[in-house]
Amino acid sequence: MKSTVPWLIAAVTGCVMIVAFFVPVAESWRDEAGIWFEILAAIAFVLGGANLFAQHMQKISARRAGWGYSAITLVTFVVSLTVGVLKVGAFSEKEDYPWAAHYIAEGGALWWLFEYVFNPLQATVFALLAFYVASAAFRAFRAKTTEATVLLTTAFIVLLGRTYAGTWLTSAVPDDYPALTFPGMTAIIMGVFNTAGQRAIMIGIALGVAATSLKVLLGVDRSYLGSDGD
Amino acid sequence: MLHILQNLDRRWIYLAMLVAVAGPVLAQKSFPEKPTKLVQDAFDYVERIPEGSNVLFSLDYAPSSDGELSPMTTTMVRHCCLKRHKMFFMTLWPDGLPLLQRNIQKIIETEFADLNLKEGEDYVNFGFNAGKEVVIIVMGTNIRKMFPTDINGKNLADIPLTANISNLSDMQLIVNISAGNPGMKEWVQYASSPLGIPLVVGSTAVQAPQAYPYYPSQMLGLLAAIKGAAEYEAALGNKYPKYQEQKYTEGIRRMAPQFWAHLLIIGLIVLGNGIYFAERVKGGPR
């Protein structure tokens, strides 16, 4: 019962989505299933937040390694949630409806946190990749095998072709021979070799997804429901 | 010398990268860009569709990709404003909402203030929906089931711009700026391909190779990372010379640090391999 009901829900919803793709009359059923999914997705945010809170509280109370980071996570979580839900500093233009302002309206506390804390932090972490890539380029990219040499040569061409360096280096090549320029070679690599490889991977993945979906719909694979102990 | 290079402290590499990136930013030096067919096709389509066409922007990215994707969002919104297209904004990413609002505020309400574009008449902000790809699927038959109101809580039936809009087929173009899932692939699978709606995709560099198989039949144009944004800015500047000014070419300016960073990485690969082969000649590890 514990796994049969969720499986039935998944199977019926999955079948509705498939049928609606081919039979236009069933589109309204699909839309209905979509609305249910939207509600569930919104509830998942709440569950995710509650789970995050519980996990980090456990870590703090048990004084496990790194509990200080958990404390910071919880404080920022609670502060963000509070100022967002209470719409702190977000003023409505409608005087009669002071709570009508959007939770992330410009000038509000949550907007301020997003613009001046969250945004710069995420950008900083992402920007650090450039430094790690540079270090890896020096230490790890070695032409040890034929495959590695082909990969390195391709990387060279694309790295040059994606900047003005490639255009400048092959500026003497006549316009009638674009394939001999770095941008031209890059276009061929991306449009022919990459596309062929990507299509092969995509078709393989699609077949795998179809097989897995069928197993889920038929109840053969119920691993997504968790084990009895969960 | 070989010993020094073998044991080079990685902080020197970090410093070199810092100089390679910060130098061009401070020098404000940029290089010319020529639009490739992938970008020119997208530009031409926005240019070709009649004035006042409906264009849906789905900005599916977060602040981590903002530096890479915001220049293309800005320049495409700017182009749509110039063509007086009607714009509809949405995001499938929870932290994409403020970025979306920033573009509306910066471009539509500030840069094009003289056009007096009105919310509800010239553009609408649907906001965020948590339903991922299901949002796209349902919008294909009925937008109001996923977005019954705009971001201000106003019923779509009461908004002049959306009163006669029922589903995605009412859009002449969908622009998806994407950093992952849900994003580019979902818009191809559930909107452009089954419904035949023209789609332009702007994507991060790491995701761009996955987009190529869809071009040109399921995706009429592709803006790949900062390079794509720079090329779109170049196309816009070619057509409207006013937009060759530096303040309108954020993507082109950001290509300069990329230029030097790429050269540095190539240099480091060459140097690293030089050390490796020198070690092999001396009988070191293979």
8 Å CB contact between B186 and B58: no
- Which secondary-structure segment (H or E) carries B89? strand B86-91
8 Å CB contact between A103 and A111: no
pLDDT in tens, A180-219: 999 999 999 999 999 999 999 999 999 999 999 999 999 8
For the residues of B107-124, what is the DSSP string, one character each?
IIIIITGGGT--BTTTEE
The pLDDT assigned to A100 comes to 81
109-128 in chain A: CB under 8 A from chain B: 111, 114-115, 118-119, 122-123, 125-127
A100 part of contact set with chain B, CB < 8 Å: yes
CB < 8 Å to B95, chain A:
114, 118
Give the nearest chain B residue to A140 (CA atoms).
B272
pLDDT in tens, B129-161: 988 999 999 999 999 999 999 998 899 999 999
The pLDDT assigned to B178 comes to 95
Instruction: Return the domain boundaries, chain A.
Output: 1-77, 141-221
pLDDT in tens, A31-88: 899 899 889 988 999 999 999 999 999 999 999 999 999 999 999 999 999 999 999 9
pTM of structure: 0.91
Question: For the stretch A157-174, what's the b/e string if a residue is b when 16 or more beta carbons lie within 10 angstroms of its beta carbon?
Answer: bbbbbbbbbbbeebeeee
Q: Would you state the structure tokens that stand for residue B126, as one six-digit string?
A: 């649907």
Distance of alpha carbon A192 from the chain centroid: 27
- The answer to whether the CB atoms of B141 and A31 lie below 8 A apart is yes
Give the nearest chain A residue to B134 (CA atoms).
A34
Beta-strand relationship, B173-178 and B123-128: unpaired
Give the pLDDT of chain B (286 residues) as one tens digit per residue.
777 887 888 999 999 999 999 999 999 889 999 999 999 999 999 999 999 999 999 999 999 999 999 999 999 999 999 999 999 999 999 999 999 999 999 999 999 999 999 999 999 999 999 889 999 999 999 999 999 999 988 999 999 999 999 999 999 999 999 999 999 999 999 999 999 999 999 999 999 999 999 999 999 999 999 999 999 999 999 999 999 999 999 999 999 999 999 999 999 999 999 999 998 888 765 5
The CA-atom distances, in angstroms, between A105 and each of A92, A97, A100, B98, B208 are 9, 15, 10, 8, 33
At A101, the pLDDT band (50, 70, 90 cuts) reads confident
- The answer to whether the CB atoms of B14 and A134 lie below 8 A apart is yes
Residue A153 has pLDDT above 60, yes or no: yes
Complex ipTM above 0.90? no
User: Residue written as tokens 């990387």?
Assistant: A155
Nearest Cβ partner for B212 among A17, A133, A198:
A198
Nearest Cβ partner for B269 among A118, A125, A152:
A152
Amino acid at B7: N
Mean pLDDT over all residues of chain A?
90
CB < 8 Å to A162, chain B:
227, 258, 262
Q: How far apart are CA B224 and CA B177, in angstroms?
A: 10
Q: Which CATH number fits domain B31-248: 3.30.70.2340, 3.40.50.10160, 3.30.56.10, 3.40.50.620?
A: 3.40.50.10160
Give the nearest chain A residue to B6 (CA atoms).
A139
Our CA dihedral for A10, A15, A21, A26, rounded to 10 degrees, sits at -100
A36 part of contact set with chain B, CB < 8 Å: no
The percent of residues above 90 in pLDDT, for chain A, comes to 66
Q: Would you state the structure tokens that stand for residue B91, as one six-digit string?
A: 């995001």
The pLDDT assigned to B267 comes to 94
A149 part of contact set with chain B, CB < 8 Å: no
The helix/strand count (H/E) of chain B reads as 12, 6
At A95, the pLDDT band (50, 70, 90 cuts) reads confident
* Local structure of residue B160 (DSSP, 8 states): T
The pLDDT assigned to A93 comes to 75
Nearest Cβ partner for A38 among B31, B146, B273:
B146
Which one, of B107, B106, B98, B156, lies nearest residue B127 by Cα? B98
